[in-house]
Copies of this chain bind each other. A is one copy, B any other.
Amino acid sequence: MIPQARLEIQKERVVCHTRVQRNVNLEKLQNGYLFPEISMHELQHIRKYPDAKLINLGIGDTTEPIPDIVAVSMAEYAHALSTVEGYRGYGAEQGNKALRKAIAETLYKDVQVKDSEVFVSDGSQCDITRLQLLLGSNVTMAVQDPSFPAYIDTSVIIGQAGDFEEKSGKFGNIEYMNCGPQNNFFPDLAKTRRTDIIFFCSPNNPTGQAATRQQLEELVKFAKENGSIIIFDSAYAVYVTDDSPRSIFEIPGAKEVAIEVSSFSKFAGFTGVRLGWTVVPEELCFSNGFPVINDFNRIVCTCFNGASNISQAGGLACLSSEGFMAVCSVVNYYKENAKILLETLASLGLKVYGGENAPYVWVHFPGSKSWDVFDYILEKTHIITVPGSGFGPGGEEFLRMSTFGHRETILEASKRLKNLFS
């Protein structure tokens, strides 16, 4: 008889590897994607404290029911698919005309975006990947630091990022535009290297800060001078309370230098339903004068087959006047949450940012490692947050708290945080 150990060695030997080399870009990706990483910590915590009542202020995931009018529209559309009259097969890759029109007319009324410039998608994260496919590996890019990890991760995957430098925690070819309390969360553009692409998210995830009109005017001017393209992520636009722009296209001339990606996820609780859009203005051209919109259209037609028609029916309902009021009332509920959490943390003497124009609160713990603070809060209060360093080296010393949640959860979280920090 062959002993078990030897059998296992033999078994390992017969595993047949292909001769296909692993993609070097994927080898360069750092750690896991942030949120699965946090889930692992969560799982360990649950094993340690199986009876603890965990509160999740981590991933920014909507919690409140979708308004009736929107859910009913989707249910009716789905039901009609079983009838001869209501059945629909492939739709246009770019999205249904009625929805493109409603997005242009409802959300971009004052800035005159055309229906044909709106591309409906299954969410902004997916469109960020499609934009990277559009741009290819030879462009250079800048991001806010900290920022939503998908910008850098997709840049690494497509091959733009260069090598990761352990010491700085940065990729060599990416320009990190530090945004923190010291510069009012807006990069020092005089010291920013010229890049082809500038990813810019406002209201910002994770800092919760919205750029002012003057700041965005500066950004557009900077992009024009440098011949750069801004990819403006406005996924949280509906959370803006003050007079900060809700779209980059509110800035004169932005159509010649900017693309906007956005989403129904946080706007209408569609995180699981999946729906978003991207605006590519006709005016935007590559250096040879070729319109960017033509290439994006080609990418959408080749690499994507349209968002679910049921989700699109829901999107259309969100943009009816009654639907819009209903989804905004859910947004206001989350904003009230943000206010509660913001006031609690401020009352404890913590340095808190964001929360007024975004569903995120950004808390500074000077001198501390953000994963340490994350673990400390989890251990002591059973609250999941997000360590700021997960958003880039500029997020070190910070924690992001999501203010999505049922009211009683936010109140309970506030209570636990008060107990811990007072």
CB within 8 Å of B: which residues of A? 15-26, 29, 32-33, 35-36, 59, 61-68, 70-72, 74-84, 86-91, 122-123, 125-126, 129, 133-139, 149-150, 153-154, 157-159, 196-197, 223-224, 226-229, 253, 256-257, 269, 271-274, 283-290, 295, 298-299, 301-311, 314
Contacts and interface: CB of A to CB of B under 8 A. Distances in A.
A308 B305 contact: no
Q: What 9 A-B pairs are tightest by C-beta distance, nearest first?
A: A19-B227, A23-B136, A71-B82, A74-B78, A22-B286, A129-B303, A61-B89, A272-B309, A75-B79
Contact residues of A: prevailing secondary structure: loop
A405 to B, nearest CB: 11
A188 B270 CA distance: 49
A34 B366 CA distance: 57
A288 B22 contact: yes
26 contacts: A15-B289, A16-B283, A18-B284, A19-B226, A19-B227, A20-B229, A20-B287, A21-B286, A26-B295, A26-B299, A32-B298, A33-B298, A59-B90, A65-B82, A66-B87, A74-B79, A74-B310, A77-B78, A78-B310, A126-B303, A129-B133, A129-B304, A137-B159, A274-B306, A274-B309, A308-B311
B126 A287 contact: no
Question: Which one of A63, A136, A138, A301 has the highest number of Cβ atoms from chain B below 10 Å of its Cβ?
Answer: A136
B272 A136 contact: no
Nearest to A294: B26
Contact of A196 (B20, B68, B76): B20
Contacts of A68: 82
Given A157-B303, A287-B17, A23 B134 contact: yes
A66 B82 contact: yes
Contacts of A88: 272
Contacts of A229: 18, 20
